[in-house]
Structure 1
Amino acid sequence: MTSQTAIPTVSTPSPTRADQPQGFLIRVVGAAAFAHLLNDLIQALLPAIYPLLKSDFSLSFAQIGWIGLVYQVTASLLQPWIGLYTDKRPLPWLLPSGMFMTLFGIALLAFASSYEMLLVAAAMVGVGSATFHPEASRIARLASGGRFGTAQATFQVGGNAGSAIGPLLAAVVVIPHGQPAIAWFMLAAGLAICLLLRLTGWTLRHGQARLDSMARNKAAGLPRGKVIQAMLVIALLVFAKFVYIASFTNYFTFYLIAQFGLSVQDSQLFLFMFLAAVAVGTFAGGPVGDRIGRKAVIWLSFVGVAPFALALPHVGMVWTAVLSVIIGLVMSSAFAALVVYAQEAVPGRVGMVSGVMFGLMFGVSGIAAAGLGALADTHGIVWVYQLTAFLPLLGLATLLLPRTRAA
């Protein structure tokens, strides 16, 4: 009788959480996008109440301009430095702390009794914004599961929605009831703080594992010379995109009134259609970039929109509506691709790159609004649209973008 010998089995240790494939966490990305909505809703409040502040404090246009400048400088210039610092020395609690700064800025804005207090309030709101964007963008990337474009686009759409809702709430809540009604926006800041505390908790629990997983899988970044080349091209593309977008967000209603004699109400409808198209295009550009590559989306976004932009100043009212929607859809698709391309070109510097990109967006938009207004005073608003129609052609510089792994 022969005995059977059991064949020993070798147990394979189960993979650790950090080694497992990391999926797209829609709840985390969605929470970051909703926090972006609340943040940008508050940021959009300040320019929306300029007429109220001008009347209540007997301000000149120059003084209004200084309020805007203080906000833009703090919101734009601080972002890259905050991102660079936190890339090297992570400060997870900085995100809700920045929103506390925004909360205090709103409170001061609601109860300010002097022009100097308004300037301090604008600076506090700007610092809160500068803290928010690079850190929240980092969380969206961590939760992307490799679908970086989709995560960035979702995050950005939240900001677009907040920028659109903010002026509407200001018109309903603040303008009829005066400066103290600004305090109601503290509720939005409070809700954002609660949300950011939860996101910070998630980062502390899972962020390092996700960072390690991404570090194992990432390709090497570009050489230093190529990085400089890439960032210069991106800066040019951001300039072209946001100067052209600023011509719509700030002056499209004036163009329609001057060109076609529309009423203010009718021109606002055209503007709403354009802004809705921008929101849709911003979201669509992310997933498309994940599929076909960042450079392809950037290329199509600029060069694809150029014929429509060049035709816009020379068509009738109906085609103006059609072309403005196409322009909003196509050109807005580039921003998520630009941000993700820059992050891939400089791996390990997500905060700095996000800060640079959002800082450029704020800075270029603010300067463009002032510059285009000065040109319109001198040459007329129709002339301005004939000039800015050539800006998408700067997208030809996309040919100079070096290739990254996903580009």
Structure 2
Amino acid sequence: MNRTPMLAAGHAAVDFYQGAVPALVPFLVAGRGYGYVAVSGIVLAATLLSSVVQPVFGVLTDRWRMPWLIPVSTLVAGAGVALGGVTDSYVLTWLAVALSGLGVAAYHPESARLARIASEGSHVRMSWFSLGGTLGFASAPVLVTPLLAGWGLGASPFLAAPAVLGAVATLPAVRALAGGGRAARAAAPVSGRDDWPSFVRLTLVIVFRSVVYVGLSAFVALYMGGGVAGAVALFVLFAGGAVGTVLGGRLAARWGRMRTMRLAYALAVPAVAGVVLAPGAVAYVFVAASSIALYAPFSLHVTLGQDFLPTRVGTAGGVTLGLAVSVGGLASPLVGALAEATTLRAALACLIVFPALAWLLARTLKEPVPEPAA
């Protein structure tokens, strides 16, 4: 039985909370008077612990199987965002959102390992697992904005519901895939040597991609005017990612992973430029195009990382799957500070360079070739 849809549902629940944080930003600005730097710090809170701790969880899951982390971390991610809207103190809000980031960090390495087993090497199946996370992102502004617009920040405890549903939905797949050691190991054979130089370059590609995508997700709602216009911009950004994720898996099956990844980053450069330069409602088209281009290589990062580090699948999954949606937050306070010193448009214009850097570095990578059996 294909367990990928169940894992995708859990992935959607966890990454819902990555999307919920930028959806909270306009309400924190309106309700508490936070400036660009302050809300950048909130985005940083959701990503700092995730960026630093996620590789640690990857190393741990390479040594010990910890399937229980998947439902527990899902609940922790939900609890952090649920508490973030009801605290009166900026410090407590920061800590609550950081707790959510910790839950996200704990989730991804082990879930990537089980997704590798469930996908049986299929790029298309792995893209469906990644799609779950993307849909979680996309649904966040659709659920968060009406809830908080109608009931205020005090209604944020209701945002814990997706975490509970996701944890319950994932349990059957976790039990089936993690229960039998021999079957699981047979489904995910380890062969070849670790190629650390290629993995490091791939990681830098992901970092460049993450900076531009998290920068857009943190500020595009404010750039488009906030309110309904901002919520629409976030939805377009996240929904475009869903299209890009599925498209990337199918293109990789036809053209190969490297060609697909390079093409996607080449197209992302003019797309991000269009977000900043296009007038009025036309900018929404470029928001969608940027998201599609930036998400087309998303699931490919995961499988490439695991193939570059075949003996450290958990570490590879923790870095490629988790880092892709977290490390960009480390740069978001710089974007916010630049926006306050100049304009938000000028700050977002600086993001154009990052997909270009990702494209240049992707051209130095080669498709991993497994060693022949002895």
Task: Give 1:399's aligned residue.
Answer: 363
CA–CA distance in 2 between the matches of 1:387 and 1:59?
A: 23
* Letter of the 1:396 counterpart: L
**Contact 2:211–2:327 (CA under 8 A) maintained in structure 1:** yes
Return the match for 2:10 from 35, 38, 47: 35
- Ranges in structure 2 where 5+ consecutive residues have no aligned partner: none
Are the equivalent residues in 2 in contact too, given 1:343–1:354 (CA < 8 A)? yes
The separation in 2 between residues aligned to 1:325 and 1:289, in whole angstroms, is 21
How far off its partner does 1:87 sit?
0.9
Q: Does 1:126 align with 2:101?
A: yes
Query: 1:214 — aligned with what?
Result: 188
2:213 to 221, 235, 245: 245
Moved more, 183-192 or 264-273: 264-273
Whose radius of gyration is greater, 1 or 2? 1
1:129: how far off? 1.2
Amino acid at match of 1:405: V
Report whether the alignment pairs 1:378 with 2:341: yes
For residue 296 of structure 1, what is the aligned residue in structure 2?
Answer: 259
The alignment partner of 2:367 has SS state of coil
Partners of 1:266 and 1:54 lie apart in 2 by 16
Residue 162 of structure 1 is matched in structure 2 by 136
Is 2:200 the counterpart of 1:232?
yes
Deviation per CA, 1:325-376, whole angstroms, max 9, x where unpaired? 4333233201211221111000132221111124422443213332223223
Q: Which letter does structure 1 place at the counterpart of 2:308?
A: A
- Take 1:176 and 1:63, find their aligned partners in 2: how far apart are those partners? 24
Instruction: Tell me the CA shift for residue 214 of structure 1.
Output: 2.9
Structure-2 change in CA distance of 1:269 and 1:211 (3 Å) = same
316-325 or 194-203: which moved more?
316-325
Deviates more, 1:334-343 or 1:285-294: 285-294
* Counterparts in 2 of 1:192 and 1:207: CA distance versus 1, 3 Å: farther
Aligned AA (1:129): V
TM-superposed CA distance for 1:180, in Å, is: 4.6
What letter corresponds to residue 244 of structure 1 in structure 2? V
- In 1, the alpha carbon distance for the partners of 2:231 and 2:27 equals 20
Secondary structure of the residue aligned to 1:389 is: helix
**In the TM superposition, what are the counterparts of 1:231-310 in structure 2 within 5 Å?**
231-252=199-220, 265=228, 269=232, 272-309=235-272
2:329 to 363, 366, 389: 366
After superposition, the Cα gap between the structure-2 partners of 1:380 and 1:235, relative to the gap in structure 1 and judged at 3 Å, is same
Q: Distance in 2 between matches of 1:65 and 1:314?
A: 23
* Distance of 1:159 and 1:173 partners within structure 2: 21
Q: Is 1:331 aligned to 2:294, yes or no?
A: yes
CA separation in 2, counterparts of 1:55 and 1:388? 26
Matches within 5 A, 1:69-84: 69-84=44-59
TM-score in terms of structure 2 length = 0.83
CA distance in 1, matches of 2:191, 2:239: 36
Q: Answer whether contact 1:221 1:404 (CA < 8 A) is retained.
A: no
Tell me the equivalent position of 2:66: 91
User: What CA distance in whole angstroms lies between the structure 1 residues aligned with 2:39 and 2:229?
Assistant: 28
Task: Report the Cα distance in structure 2 between the residues aligned to 1:56 and 1:383, rounded to whole angstroms.
Answer: 26
What is the distance in 2 between the residues matched to 1:366 and 1:170?
20
CA distance in 1, matches of 2:232, 2:96: 32
Match of 1:198 among 172, 176, 179: 172
Residues 12-52 of structure 1: per-residue CA shift (max 9 Å, x gap) = xxxxxxxxxxxxx54x1111111111122234334434565
* Distance in 1 (alpha carbons) for counterparts of 2:42 and 2:279: 38
Aligned mates of 1:321, 1:66 — CA distance in 2: 26
Aligned equivalents of 2:215, 2:77: Cα separation in 1: 28
Whether the aligned pair in 2 keeps the contact of 1:77 and 1:359 (CA below 8 Å) is: no
Match for 2:5: what amino acid? Answer: G
Q: Determine the C-alpha separation between the residues in 2 that align with 1:84 and 1:57.
A: 40
Question: Which moves more between the two structures, 68-77 or 108-117?
Answer: 108-117
Q: For the residues of structure 2 that align with 1:264 and 1:172, how far apart are their CA atoms?
A: 10
* Alignment CA distance shift 1:205-1:114 (3 Å): same
How far does the alpha carbon of each residue in 1:171-208 deviate from its partner, in whole angstroms, 9 at most, with x for none? Answer: 22244334553222333222222123222211233564
Partner-residue secondary structure (3-state), 1:400: coil
Structure 1 counterpart of 2:115, from 117, 128, 140: 140
Counterpart Cα distance in 2 of 1:331 and 1:120: 29
Tell me, in whole angstroms, the C-alpha distance in 2 between the residues paired with 1:325 and 1:58.
30
Contact residue 22 and residue 217 of structure 2 kept, 8 A: no
Per-residue CA deviations over 1:95-135 (Å, capped at 9, x if unaligned) read 22223434554665576576665454334322221111112
Give the Cα separation in 1 of the matches to 2:84 and 2:231.
28
CA contact (8 A) 1:219 1:405 kept: no
Change in CA separation of 1:192 and 1:265 when aligned onto 2, cut-off 3 Å: closer
Q: TM-score, normalised by structure 1?
A: 0.77
